[in-house]
Amino acid sequence: MKLITIGAIIFTTLLFTGCATKPQYVKTADAPITMGLDRRDFAKAAEAAVKDLLDSGAMDRKGGGRYVVTMGRMINDTTQRIDTDMLTKKIRIALLKSGKAVMTTAVGVDGPEDVMTKEVRKLRDDDEFKQSTIAKKGTIYSPDMSLTGKIIQRTVKANSSDQLVEYYFQLTMTQLETGLAFWEGETTIGKLGSNDSVTW
């Protein structure tokens, strides 16, 4: 009886293993594959925002050099649970590559993004560490600019069978010394689909 049971388990396992779909890379299509936000939407919004920001001249520092930029609050006002880093990380990478800005991780809305900047300074009184290798006082750069934004979703009925979902990516670059917005941009992505489609 035991042998029959074990045999049945092995047979069932092999059967389901053989029927399982093999993993494959997702091919990029021209048409949207979902009414919700996907990686292509974030890439498109980030690319448009960075191009507009750099073209505006707001990141051209007088006398040359690069601005130090920190991440402010990025609000998700959609029906989806999304990580806003999917947008901001792409913008940060593009700004670094542009040579116009560097990002600080020592200052953030909810505290430092990388706590190690402060943690290593706690080693100043530790005799086990070579003190000449410890970061000195007054070496952390304060940010010049702060990037904040909001992702808004608007859904309306287009007709009896279709709905229009629009996503607004609104961004602001603020000069922290004056509190003035040096640049503001908005990218809109719209998707038309069946009323039966969901966005989450």
pLDDT in tens, 92-111: 999 999 999 999 999 999 99
Q: Which residues of the chain have pLDDT under 70?
A: 1-21, 24-31, 198-200
| Whether 149 and 122 share a structural domain | no
pTM for the complete prediction? 0.81
| Whether 166 and 96 share a structural domain | yes
Helix orientation angle between 85-98 and 39-56, rounded to the nearest 10 degrees: 40
- What's the chain's Rg over C-alpha atoms? 25
User: Does 87 map to a domain?
Assistant: yes
Q: How much is the pLDDT for 161? A: 84
| Whether 123 and 200 share a structural domain | no
| Whether 161 and 76 share a structural domain | yes
| Whether 46 and 81 share a structural domain | yes
| Whether 182 and 124 share a structural domain | no
Q: How much is the pLDDT for 117? A: 96
Q: How much is the pLDDT for 131? A: 95
Query: Which CATH number characterizes residue 189's domain?
Result: 3.40.50
- The number of folded domains in the chain is 2
d(CA 170, CA 185): 6
User: Does 36 map to a domain?
Assistant: no
| Whether 91 and 125 share a structural domain | no
| Whether 96 and 109 share a structural domain | no
- SS3 for the chain is CHHHHHHHHHHHHHHHHHHCCCCCCCCCCCCCCCCCCCHHHHHHHHHHHHHHHHHHCCCCCCCCCCEEEEEEEEEEECCCCCCCHHHHHHHHHHHHHHCCEEECCCCCCCCCCCCHHHHHHHHHHCCCCCHHHCCCCCCCCCCCEEEEEEEEEEEEECCCCEEEEEEEEEEEEEECCCCEEEEEEEEEEEEEEECCCCCC
| Whether 148 and 88 share a structural domain | yes
Q: How much is the pLDDT for 91? A: 97
| Whether 77 and 158 share a structural domain | yes
User: Does 75 map to a domain?
Assistant: yes
Q: In angstroms, what CA-CA distances link 125 with 93, 128, 132?
A: 36, 9, 12
| Whether 94 and 162 share a structural domain | yes
Structural domain that includes position 89: 41-57+67-100+144-200
